Amino acid sequence: GLGRTPRFVQVAYQTIDQSVTRGDFDIGMSGVEDTPQRRRAFALTLPYFEFREVLTVRVPDTGRFRTLADLRGHKVGTLSGTLAYDTLLAAEAAHSLVTVSYDDDVHPYEDLARGRVDAVLLDHVLAARSMKRVPGLAIQPGAIVTGHYVGDLAKANAALRDRIDGLLKEMMRDGTLRQLFEMWKVWD
């Protein structure tokens, strides 16, 4: 819709903001979360997806670890630099759990299956995808917290952000966004 040919640039999740600032690419996307800090520093698109932070545990622990409070003294993994990470840091003080941060969203679930951590807190989309890859895990019902995904652009690119927002609004109105989410099996 912008009359451009997309060129995908792979970077670590934690470096998306810095890459946008440097101009390595025009827009950062891939589970970029809408946060007050990011709103102040960047030109963010309107939210296009609501996610839920869910707790994943080993199947035998589903009755034991239902909430963050149940994980007192236990290790909980997550992706660093995320809403889930901030939520776990706050839970350390409230519930005396131990936050274990990762640089990707693959290893927390593998470590959970191996018993290196006792739970994982991450976006429901990541949890559902990981359960297909790593057997023996279960997602606890309910959300610990919710958030929204946005596109991340440098402040100087506010005009481009506005054009993208217009396209997103149209995709929401005409059902295109829903069709894309259904195609990727994330519509819920």
**What is the helix (H) or strand (E) element at residue 17, kind and residue range?**
helix 16-22
In the numeric block, which tokens belong to residue 130?
């990981």
The pLDDT, as a whole number, for residue 13 is 87
Which residues in the chain come in under a pLDDT of 50?
A: none
The pLDDT, as a whole number, for residue 48 is 95
From residue 100, how far is each of 117, 130, 137, 185, 187 by CA, in Å? 8, 18, 18, 29, 29
Distance CA 70, CA 186 (A): 29
Its pTM stands at 0.91
The pLDDT, as a whole number, for residue 172 is 97
Distance CA 51, CA 34 (A): 11
**Is residue 78 a contact partner of residue 99, using CB atoms and an 8 Å limit?**
yes
